[in-house]
Amino acid sequence: MSPESYHFGTRLALRCDYYAFPRTGSHYLWACFTGLLDLVFYPNEFVDHPEAKQRAEELNPHAYYALRLREDGVPFQPVYINAAPQGVHGNPAPAAGDWPVLTLIRDPHPTIYSWYHTATERWGAKVPNRVEWMRDAYQKYREFYDRAFDVAEKNPKKCLLIRFEELKRDAAVLRQITAFLGVQPKLSPEFVHWWTDFERMTKAGDRTFYRSGNNLQWRNDAAWLADLERAGPGDFTRYGYSAKP
């Protein structure tokens, strides 16, 4: 058994590789995957991890119970999504392989804002110079998605780009994912989209990992906006986002 020929019982699992920069909504998307797909996991160091288990404490258990159900008549089709083909979050960078590729992207400004607050408030990171930290974070985002877009441009039929903003908007993206993978969703995409509404999927109260899923929150932080202007993050139109914050 290997990731290239991973059988679940007697069935060969469909495989695809997955790339996403930190704080672009991966855990939200994986909740969607849970509802849509018969996910199977090849044993690796990232599956059974104390940090991952702790994150789950912030989730609504009723939502995940519902997402593990199956509609009558839907066949079992194991799907192995390799979430670390180049390491955690695809580091050092996305690369083309022998498998279809799913890539998640989010507007860089709420992404970097969420990354900063998760790093400092959950993991206790110390940032002596926030402007320099921002410059470095935006550059890492740019390098990551430059590689991801290069892979997609060279292999358009094997790559699907998922935008966090569209994913949250309606169920169309979920239908697109199952069509790309060539499987029948085990639950209605509309049902999955309803259950993965951010506030429904998470527990009420303070959360340090599943923060808010709000793409506009950074705009209300005057100190952050002042530092952002000094950081000069640059143009992100290549990735489909506005040139101006």
pLDDT at 224: 95
What's 37's DSSP letter? S
- Is residue 86 one of the residues assigned to a domain? yes
- Is residue 125 one of the residues assigned to a domain? no
User: Do 78 and 38 form a contact (C-beta atoms < 8 A)?
Assistant: yes
Measured between alpha carbons, how far is 73 from 50 in angstroms, rounded to an integer? 36
pLDDT at 88: 72
pLDDT at 97: 79
Characterize 36-49 residue by residue with b for buried, 16 or more Cβ atoms within 10 angstroms of its Cβ, and e for exposed: bbbbbebeeeeeee
- Is residue 29 one of the residues assigned to a domain? yes
Measured between alpha carbons, how far is 137 from 127 in angstroms, rounded to an integer? 12
- Is residue 13 one of the residues assigned to a domain? yes
Q: Which residue has the tokens 């309606």?
A: 170
What's the domain count of the chain? Answer: 1
Cα separation values, 92 from 96, 147, 225, Å: 13, 10, 29
In this structure, the chain runs to a length of: 245
CB atoms within 10 A of CB 209: 19
- Is residue 116 one of the residues assigned to a domain? no
User: Do 231 and 135 form a contact (C-beta atoms < 8 A)?
Assistant: yes
Domain span holding position 57: 7-108+141-208
Beta-sheet pairing, 7-8 with 11-12: antiparallel
pLDDT at 189: 97
Residue by residue, pLDDT tens for the chain (245 residues) are 566 666 666 677 889 999 999 989 888 898 899 999 999 887 666 656 665 666 667 777 888 899 999 999 999 999 999 887 877 766 767 887 789 999 999 999 999 999 998 889 877 889 999 999 999 999 999 999 999 999 999 999 999 999 999 999 999 999 999 999 999 999 999 999 999 887 787 767 665 556 656 777 899 999 999 999 999 999 999 999 987 77
- Is residue 22 one of the residues assigned to a domain? yes
pTM over 0.95: no
Segments in the chain forming alpha helices (H):
26-36, 50-55, 61-67, 108-121, 130-154, 164-169, 172-181, 189-195, 198-201, 222-231
- Is residue 234 one of the residues assigned to a domain? no
- Is residue 245 one of the residues assigned to a domain? no
Which CATH number is 54's domain given? 3.40.50
